[in-house]
Each structure stands twice: as C-alpha cells, then as structure tokens.
Structure 1
Amino acid sequence: MQVLLHTDNHVEGRQGMADHLETVVKDALHRFGDHVTRVEAHLSDAVSHSKSSPDDIHCTLEARLSNLPPVIVKDHAPTAHQAISGAVDKLKRAVTTAVEKHDTRRPGQGAQPEL
C-alpha cells in the first residue's frame, strides 16, 4: 500500500508527519491486504493567519480500493496528529463497510444472483 501526504505551506514537519501518517494508516488498514492500493492525505491549516477556531487543521484521506470506487473521509482538529487520527478512524470504518458490502463470500452480500 502506498501512502502519500500533501500539505499546504502552513503545516509544519512534513517528513515527520509523513512517517507518522504512514505508520498510522498501515496499522489501521493492514487487514485489508491488497484491497487498499493507495491512501492520499491532504493536510491544511484552515485559518493559517490567525488561530481563532479550535479545529483549524483539516485532514482529508482518500483510499483507492481494488475494483471499487475510492473512499474519502475528512476530519478537523486542533493539531495535525489529532486530525490524522480522527480521519484514519473514519477511513477504517468506511473501508470496512465498502469492502464488506462487495464481499461475495458472505451470504446476502455482494452481487445478487439473477432470477
């Protein structure tokens, strides 16, 4: 699984943040194996010139799944690590739902037989 980080100019610690992101994403999604081919993260500081709002850091995660549409989630938090953590939790639930919905091994799931 490939993990990519994109940030705006106001997010600090790009390499450390990229390492943290990769560790957190791979730990959360390891059970999906080859279902998840790539995860792209976009971190931005919503109000870079003043810290008036407590949830200024926005994290958007997009997971590319094999033979399924991409899954996109968003989270907002006071720090980049918290925004990543919140978004990864949401991504894990969303990927679980997407993969299980299309799992043909489970009865009543996936493609329906033609009548």
Structure 2
Amino acid sequence: MTIQFNTDNNVHGTEEFIALYIVQIESVLSRFSEHITRLEVHLSDENGPKNGMNTKRCLLEARLEHRQPIAVSNQADTLDQAMDGALVKLTATLDTIMGKLNNHK
C-alpha cells in the first residue's frame, strides 16, 4: 500500500508529522493492506490562521484493486481528530465492501 500525503498552505507537513500519521494509518488499515493499492491523504485547514470549530479536514481516498476508489472525509477541531474520524469512516466502509466481496465468493 502506497500512502501519498497532500496538505494545503495552512498545514505544514514536515517529515516527522507525516511519519506519525503513516504509522497510525498502516496500523489501522493493516488488515486491508493487500486490497489497497494506494491511499491518498488530503489534510487541510479551512479557516487558515483563524481559530474556529471543525476547521481541520481530512480526506482519505483509497484505491482498491479492481474497484472504484473510495473517499471519506471528516472535519474536527484538530488534525488528529480529523484523521481519527476519517480512519473510522474508511474502516467501516472497507468492512462493508470486503464483507460483500467475501459473501459473493
């Protein structure tokens, strides 16, 4: 599984910052890793330097073998919360898809 990170101008994605998220993503999605060819992570701060509620956004787009891409997003007060919520949504979606695939076999 290849993981590609994209950030907007308001999110400073250092190597250490990205490495921490990669470890988290690989841990959470490890059971799906043989089915996911690429995962694109888009992190953004929709309010920029201003403070506000639910301004951090995480969009995850999973590319599965022989399937259409799946995209989920989550907004929260922090990037960590946004990532956690998006991973929960993606895991639930992948569970549903993989369950349906296994039922058809």
What is the TM-score when the length of structure 1 is the normalising length? 0.83
RMSD over equivalenced CA pairs, Å = 1.5
Check the 8 A contact 2:6/2:43 in 1, yes or no. yes
Q: Partners of 1:92 and 1:4 in 2: how far apart? A: 18
CA shift, 1:14, in A, is 3.1
State the match for 1:36 in structure 2: 36
Check the 8 A contact 1:24/1:85 in 2, yes or no. no
Letter of the structure 2 residue corresponding to residue 85 of structure 1: D
1:82 is the counterpart of 2:89 = no
Q: Which runs of 5+ in 2 are unaligned?
A: none
- Corresponding pairs, count: 105
Q: Partners of 2:89 and 2:39 in 1: how far apart? A: 13
1:18-29 matched pairs, under 5 angstroms = 18-29=18-29
CA shift, 1:92, in A, is 0.9
What is the TM-score when the length of structure 2 is the normalising length? 0.90
Bigger radius of gyration, 1 or 2?
1
Check the 8 A contact 1:11/1:43 in 2, yes or no. yes
Check the 8 A contact 1:24/1:88 in 2, yes or no. no
Letter of the structure 1 residue corresponding to residue 23 of structure 2: T
Check the 8 A contact 2:7/2:13 in 1, yes or no. no
Check the 8 A contact 1:11/1:45 in 2, yes or no. yes
CA shift, 1:100, in A, is 1.5
Encode CA deviations 1:6-27: one digit per residue, 9 max, x unaligned: 0001013432331122111111
State the match for 2:48 in structure 1: 48
Q: Which runs of 4+ in 1 moved over 4 A?
A: none
Q: Which runs of 5+ in 1 are unaligned?
A: 104-108
CA shift, 1:33, in A, is 3.4
CA shift, 1:71, in A, is 1.2
Letter of the structure 2 residue corresponding to residue 110 of structure 1: H
Check the 8 A contact 2:10/2:49 in 1, yes or no. no
